[in-house]
Chain A
Amino acid sequence: MTFQEFITVNLHQFWVLTGFANCTWQHLVMLAVGLFFLWLAIKKNFEPMLLVPIGFGILIGNIPFNGTAGLEIGIYEENSVLNILYNGVSAGWYPPLIFLGIGAMTDFSALIANPKLMLIGAAAQFGIFGAYMVALALGFAPDQAGAIAIIGGADGPTAIFLSSKLAPNLMGAIAVSAYSYMALVPLIQPPIMRLLTTKKERVIKMKPARAVSQNEKIIFPIIGLLLTCFVVPSGIPLLGMLFFGNILRECGVTTRLAKTASNALTDIVTILLGMTVGASTQASEFLTIDTIFIFALGFMAFIIASASGVLFVKLFNIFLPQSKKLNPLIGNAGVSAVPMSARISNNLGLEYDPSNYLLMHAMGPNVAGVIGSAVAAGVLLGFLA
């Protein structure tokens, strides 16, 4: 081999390994999606804490490379660094850690003060099961349909946890879909809420919630854990961590642990979860007709969930005395996008009556939605796993 041939052969080998040589239109589409997510997060300020890691993760996961070279760099290649980080998603242990953080940062006072709001959180789970039926009609198997339908819970960690158990092959699309719709709550929910409520209903003022004692706050995670997990033991990973985080916060003697769980730990896991979920959308695995169906079903599930929450409050109001009527604008918060959907209730309430602050009322169904979606996930897991 001459020196010239030597140089040519090696440069050619190098070229074969570059992203330029391996780039396909699918990669370019996914890179555009990643850039769009980053634009939404940075320029439009849509849930940057979620969309920046996911968007950048999409860029990382869709850099074209030669998959046959055995470089161990792809997220689906065993023992690659990304694959090791992805284990938290594929084995389903990031979501319970996120739930630990959610528990440690959530104040359940609104729910404890007005326990009937829990039922709104349950009603919003209609979205999950409505989407399940449509997914079956579209030809998905029951386990896949269950994994897709959980998007309607608007709960990213739960969606990842359930899909990792029921349909690991669809997990990337389900996770991205769930987080995307959570980020788009400000766009999706208000039109539904306006459509389903009258002007008179939107200005209903609810009584301020009573003060909740410290003892009640301590009892809540204990009773909550025991009751919900006795009913649905398959919800233990999520509900156990949620209530564990909450008791760390409320007991008053583990402040340091509560702070770590709600700040440092949640931040670390959010970074890893978001980035690896984004990176899991590798074009070759992600761009399929199933993904389009999943996004469409997720969107539908989200709409059904929001609508059923609002309609349930209206139904509930029929049985409540005039002085205890609920504002239907808090119904959308039954989906567990915490606290985004509660914020939407508040903003819309203020739009129609600048003195009507619904935030703390909406936080009740909102956190009940977290519990409800975890219970729903446990039910699906119990039935279909």
Chain B
Amino acid sequence: MKKSIFILLAVLVGGFLNQVDAQGRRGLRINEVMVANDSNFIDDYGRHNAWIELYNSTYAPMEISSVYLTNNPAEPKKYPVPLGDVNTEIPARQHVVFWADGEPNKGTFHLNFKLTQGQDNWIGIYDANGITLIDSITVPASLLPNTTYARRLDGEGEGIEAWEVRDGSDTYYITPSSNNKIVDTNKKVEMFAETDGNGFGLAAMAMIIVFSALLLLCICFYIISRIGSKVSRRNKARSHGMSAETLTGRQTVQTTDHDSGEEIAAVVMALHEHLNAHDKESTILTINKVRKSYSPWSSKIYSLRELPRR
């Protein structure tokens, strides 16, 4: 019995960890592919080969060792990215290029398969379990030599409309190991500069948001305080063995009659003096001038109270 529970737990934990792992690498994307490379980018050995660019679309570094690259859906574990290479950690929003030259002995980034010109090339990335497909793309057979099939925006979009053919011209530039879309300005800032030159639009929107957030909080606490006071009144009534309405009526009478805070303080002071009830004080009474450097930052009088104890 104990053993079966242990196995069940192990399976659950294993499944959970697997899920976590999959989520961690879910941001890995195939970003740009060149199938026939005659005169384009060259590898470390000075040779032209097909290449596949992967992109870490997350805002955290991503370790991709042990994920699988493949060109065959029936063989998901075709090329495992080797362990132990520091270069397999892709920085946030950065790229890495794999060479599809069929020569894995040349290093971590050389795959054990090739891409075939003139036919559709399916490329997939599987997670370490070899089951979870992280990303895939079918590069069309019509892709000409020295052109790439690339995402319009790095790591973004789904389906073929997110992709385009790039021929290396000024408009459709080829960017192995670099951003497909070169961004030299902050689009948001540009938009605000163009359409909201005097800042009134942003000011109005921002103030509405700030007011809405605090108004929401205000309404919420108004409701909570109403409920809280009702609950406390009901509890008090129960402890006195009467209905909440009766207690409320009594309290109303008491409230109209009761003394002000100053009057209560005066009564307490008088009783204190009369009974001569002094505490033993640890402080020293002196007529010497005592100079204290004061700042509200160090003062606990104004903003603080005793920490609550249970």
Residues of A within 8 A of B (CB): 45, 47-50, 105-107, 109, 111-113, 115-116, 118-119, 121-123, 125-126, 128-130, 132-133, 135-137, 141-143, 145-146, 208, 210, 212-217, 219-220, 223-224, 227-228, 231-232, 249-250, 252-253, 255, 258-259, 270, 338-340, 342-343, 359, 363, 368, 371-372, 375-376, 379-380, 383-385
Contact = CB atoms under 8 A, between A and B. Distances in A.
Contacts of A126: 207
A252 B308 contact: yes
8 contacts: A106-B304, A119-B211, A132-B202, A213-B232, A216-B228, A255-B309, A343-B296, A375-B213
B278 interface: no
B198 interface: yes
Contacts of A106: 303-304
A326 B187 CA distance: 44
Given A107-B303, A133-B199, A380 B206 contact: yes
Nearest to A228: B213
Contact of A129 (B206, B213, B214, B221): B206
Contacts of A129: 199, 202-203, 206-207
A112 B225 contact: yes
Given A107-B305, A372-B214, A380-B206, 7 more contacts: A47-B297, A118-B218, A132-B203, A133-B203, A368-B214, A383-B205, A384-B188
Contacts of B203: 129-130, 132-133
A105 B217 contact: no
Contact of A119 (B205, B218, B302, B303): B218
B192 A122 contact: no
Interface string B276-293: 000000000000000001
Interface string B185-213: 01011001100111110110111011111
B268 interface: no
A141 B193 contact: yes
B7 interface: no
A112 B211 contact: no
Return the 8 tightest CB-CB contacts between A and B, nearest first: A129-B203, A133-B199, A49-B297, A115-B221, A142-B192, A115-B218, A252-B310, A122-B214
B227 to A, nearest CB: 10
Given A129-B207, A339-B303, A363-B303, A383 B213 contact: no
B155 to A, nearest CB: 19
Contacts, number: 167
Contacts of B308: 214, 217, 249-250, 252
Contact of A115 (B206, B222, B295, B297): B222
Contact of B218 (A48, A116, A258): A116
A223 B224 contact: yes
Contact of A48 (B189, B196, B220, B295): B295
A45 B296 CA distance: 11
A113, A133, A142, A339: residue with the most chain B Cβ atoms closer than 10 Å = A142
Given A47-B295, A143-B189, A375 B225 contact: no
Contact of B217 (A145, A223, A379): A223
Nearest to A110: B303
A59 to B, nearest CB: 20
Interface of B: 186, 188-189, 192-193, 196-200, 202-203, 205-207, 209-222, 224-225, 228, 232, 261, 293-300, 302-305, 307-310
Contacts of B307: 249, 255, 258-259
Contacts of B225: 112-113, 115, 210, 212, 216
A50 B211 contact: no
Contact of A220 (B221, B222, B232): B221
B177 to A, nearest CB: 25
Contacts of B214: 118-119, 121-122, 368, 371-372, 375
A135 B298 CA distance: 35
A227 B220 contact: yes
Contacts of A339: 296, 299, 302-303
A359 B302 contact: yes
Contacts of A109: 305
A45 B211 contact: no
A61 B56 CA distance: 39
B214, B216, B293: residue with the most chain A Cβ atoms closer than 10 Å = B214
Contacts of A118: 214-215, 217-218
B196, B294, B297: residue with the most chain A Cβ atoms closer than 10 Å = B297
A122 B210 contact: yes
Contacts of B300: 105
A339 B303 CA distance: 7
B192 A115 contact: no
Nearest to A121: B214
Contacts of B304: 105-107
B199 A215 contact: no
A342 B219 CA distance: 23
A308 to B, nearest CB: 10
A223 B220 CA distance: 8
A48 B295 CA distance: 7
A338 B189 contact: no
A280 B296 CA distance: 26
Given A223-B221, A383-B206, A213 B309 contact: no
Contacts of A379: 205-206, 209-210
A172 to B, nearest CB: 21
A109, A214, A376: residue with the most chain B Cβ atoms closer than 10 Å = A376
Given A213-B228, A231-B212, A143 B202 contact: no
A212 B212 CA distance: 24
B190 to A, nearest CB: 9
A341 to B, nearest CB: 10
B196 to A, nearest CB: 8
B114 to A, nearest CB: 43
